Amino acid sequence: MELARRPWRPLVVSVPFVVLGIIFLYPFALLTVEAFARPDGGYGLGTFAAILAGHAFHGALFATLRIALTATAACLGLGSALALLIRFAAFPGARALGRLVDVYLAFPSFLVALSLTFLYGNSGVVHTLWTSALGGSAAAASRSFLYGFWGVVLAEVTYYTPFVMRPVLAALDVIDRSQLEVASSLGERPWGVLRRVVIPELVPALIAGGSLCLLLTMNEFGIILVMGVKDVITLPMMIYGKAIDEFDYPAASAVAICNVALSLGLYFTYRQALERVPR
Amino acid sequence: MSELIHSRPARRLLAGIGLIVTAIVFGLPLMTLLLASIAGEWTRALPTTLTVAHLRAALGGTPRAALWHSLATGIGATIGALVLGVWGALVSRRAPAPVRRGIDALFLMPVAIPSVSIGLALLVAFSRPPLLLNGTVALVGITHVVLVTAYAYASAQAGIARLPAAVEDMAGSLGATPSRVLVRVTLPLLLPQLRAAAALGFALSMGELGATIMVYPPGWATAPVEIFSLTDRGALFTGAAVSVWLLAGTFGALWLFDRRRSSRRAGSARDFSGT
């Protein structure tokens, strides 16, 4: 309000931005500088060109997109199916289950990877049952599917499906029930009501949940790290490898900048999708 | 809400499918993790003996230190993020719409960025003058504040949007100074959102791995980092036991913070919509 009466006001207003500037913007500015730094002390596009031309980067980009898209598609399918079952089959405990989904969101993702190791890993419950059912020692020597592409996808689907279920459950809550009854009484079969009345109402929620899922699965790191998947290198894994194993900070920074650009692009798409979701 | 399926057997069948799929997809992994933390001998499909040795081992030596580090980081980062996020949300409230959109973007951006990149950026920036923090505990705290602030900001903003503006104006017109209005009126009204933000922020900080693994100083691993290094060297059961304590601590705190609210709205901050 009146600047004269409260001369400290600009100071008070600027504090959060100064702090965030130092701990968030300044690091990313220096990350950019690092990516463009040349070994001789000058600046240039050398690191970027080398990274962007390399097979490692192309492979990582492809793996990231392939995992994220596959996991998101599976999350959308499983998440909307489970949400529909919870709401329409109306079984006892369905409400509690819906609430449990929320609690799940506070669970760290890498623990899913650890859990799945015990369940489907080489010495896990399912793999042991499977190999003992097959009997032979050849079968016992087989490697579980878990340590590859599908293992990562399974872990991500396990962890991220609730992120689709939540908006879909919320959207199902606001569907006008009389609409469903009218459609039914006009002779539409349940499947038809679902397809023609319910699903169209869910589209904004599916877009919002799906793009959130896509963003989070593209950024996912803990699951792949803890699972010990050696042949699936995503962009975050490549950044980690370059920085921690090879101490090559300029290369790591260049990959990080590409990764950040990709994620931010997706994020702003998500924000726009979200604005169309009825809340 | 059973307008769609009128036939009872069909509804039962679908309900059964729903329950079984949920149990297999979400319940089974968690149960297996709990089982692994108390498994003694596990050479067949299921453990043949049970033991508390892993859980006890996880409360001694480096795992114990790691759990303390996580707890301390979680509490510190949550407080820091709440102050920063609420402060930012209060400032953005008075800003004109275009400026507010910019502030939103700034505060919410960290949630969209891969955590490894945030860790790398902080590592690169604070490994050189003028701010040399590489290898210090402070860098871990700062990293977690960066990651959690967005959720605090989004929660505070959601709370501010629901504030009855008249109450604050009234307090002001009755002669209360702005700082008094803030402390006595605004913040108490925001308390439910702040509590939810604190719970969520604490849980996220306790489980953070990607950025922490880039910046943690030697000897100061947090519980997630410790779990990774344990499982990486094959100590799977101790890793599972540390995970169980980590989860117990996280959900204990969530329950403590959040018991007076429906968990539904608490979770919604994770959508980071900022609206």
What does the alpha-carbon distance between residue B158 and residue B133 come to, in Å, rounded to a whole number? 34
Could you tell me which residues come within 8 angstroms of residue A66 by beta carbon, excluding any fewer than 6 positions away? A149
Report the residue from B11, B29, B87 with minimal CB separation from A89: B11
The mean per-residue pLDDT over the stretch B29-35 comes to: 89
Q: Encoding tokens for residue B187? A: 């913040």
Helix (H) or strand (E) holding A148: none
Question: Could you tell me the CA-to-CA distances from A72 to A64, A170, A275, B88 in Å, in that order?
Answer: 12, 19, 20, 33
Tell me the pLDDT tens digit for each residue of A163-213: 898 889 888 888 877 777 787 778 777 777 777 778 888 888 898 889 889
Supply the pLDDT for residue A3.
Answer: 44
Tell me the pLDDT tens digit for each residue of B235-247: 889 999 999 999 9
User: Average model confidence (pLDDT) for chain A?
Assistant: 84
Asked if B166 is an interface residue toward chain A (Cβ–Cβ < 8 A), one would say: no
Do B114 and A85 count as a contact with CB atoms less than 8 A apart? no
SS3 A88: helix
Asked if B177 is an interface residue toward chain A (Cβ–Cβ < 8 A), one would say: no
Q: Which of residues 242-271 of B touch A (CB under 8 A)?
A: 243, 246-247, 250-251, 254, 262-264, 266-268, 270-271
The mean per-residue pLDDT over the stretch B22-43 comes to: 85
Share of chain A above pLDDT 90, in %: 37
What does the alpha-carbon distance between residue B198 and residue B91 come to, in Å, rounded to a whole number? 20
Closest CA to A9 of B179, B204, B272: B179
State the DSSP code for B186. Answer: I
Could you tell me which residues come within 8 angstroms of residue A92 by beta carbon, excluding any fewer than 6 positions away? none
Do A219 and B114 count as a contact with CB atoms less than 8 A apart? yes
Asked if B155 is an interface residue toward chain A (Cβ–Cβ < 8 A), one would say: no
SS3 A59: helix
Could you tell me which residues come within 8 angstroms of residue A56 by beta carbon, excluding any fewer than 6 positions away? A233, A238
Give chain A's domains with CATH numbers. Answer: 15-44 (no CATH), 57-275 (1.10.3720.10)
Identify the burial level of B149 via C-beta atoms within 10 angstroms of its C-beta, where 0-12 means exposed, 13-18 middle and 19 or more buried. Answer: buried
Q: What are the chain A neighbours of B250 within 8 Å (beta carbons)?
A: 106
What does the alpha-carbon distance between residue A10 and residue A14 come to, in Å, rounded to a whole number? 6
Report the residue from A190, A249, A274 with minimal CB separation from B273: A274
Q: What are the chain A neighbours of B3 within 8 Å (beta carbons)?
A: 88, 177, 180-181, 184
Highest mean pLDDT among A123-132, A188-197, B214-223: B214-223
Contact B208, B115 (CB under 8 A): yes
Supply the pLDDT for residue B267.
Answer: 44
State the nearest Cα–Cα gap between A149 and chain B, in angstroms. 18
Looking at per-residue confidence, does A228 or A275 come out higher? A228
State the nearest Cα–Cα gap between A179 and chain B, in angstroms. 10
Residue A43's DSSP bridge partners are: A37
Report the residue from A15, A88, A125 with minimal CB separation from B32: A125
Say how far residue B254 (Cα) sits from the centre of its chain: 9
Question: Could you tell me the CA-to-CA distances from A154 to A63, A68, A148, A158, B77 in Å, in that order?
Answer: 15, 11, 10, 6, 32
- Confidence label for B71 from pLDDT (cuts 50, 70 and 90): very high
Do A271 and B273 count as a contact with CB atoms less than 8 A apart? yes
pLDDT of B1 over the 50 cut: no
Identify the burial level of A200 via C-beta atoms within 10 angstroms of its C-beta, where 0-12 means exposed, 13-18 middle and 19 or more buried. Answer: exposed
Highest mean pLDDT among A52-66, A140-154, B38-52: A52-66
Do A89 and B231 count as a contact with CB atoms less than 8 A apart? no
Do A88 and B4 count as a contact with CB atoms less than 8 A apart? yes
- Confidence label for B266 from pLDDT (cuts 50, 70 and 90): very low
What does the alpha-carbon distance between residue B66 and residue B226 come to, in Å, rounded to a whole number? 6
- Confidence label for B274 from pLDDT (cuts 50, 70 and 90): very low
Neighbours of A137 (CB within 10 A): 8
Residue written as token pair 């792949």: A224
How much is the ipTM here?
0.87
Q: Encoding tokens for residue A160? A: 């991220």
For chain A, the C-alpha Rg in angstroms (whole number) is 24
Supply the pLDDT for residue A136.
Answer: 56
Angle subtended at Cα A146 by Cα A140 and Cα A150, rounded to the nearest 5 degrees? 130
Supply the pLDDT for residue B48.
Answer: 78
The mean per-residue pLDDT over the stretch A18-42 comes to: 88
SS3 A207: helix
Buried b (16+ CB within 10 A) or exposed e, A241-267: bbbbeeebbbbbbbbbbbbbebbeebb
What sign results for the dihedral spanned by CA atoms A228, A230, A234, A240?
Answer: positive
Do A90 and B204 count as a contact with CB atoms less than 8 A apart? no
Q: Which residue of A has its CA nearest to B271?
A: A212
Question: Could you tell me the CA-to-CA distances from B84 to A69, A181, B195, B205, B275 in Å, in that order?
Answer: 35, 49, 15, 16, 18
Do B32 and A118 count as a contact with CB atoms less than 8 A apart? yes
Do B214 and A118 count as a contact with CB atoms less than 8 A apart? no
Q: What are the chain A neighbours of B2 within 8 Å (beta carbons)?
A: 88-90
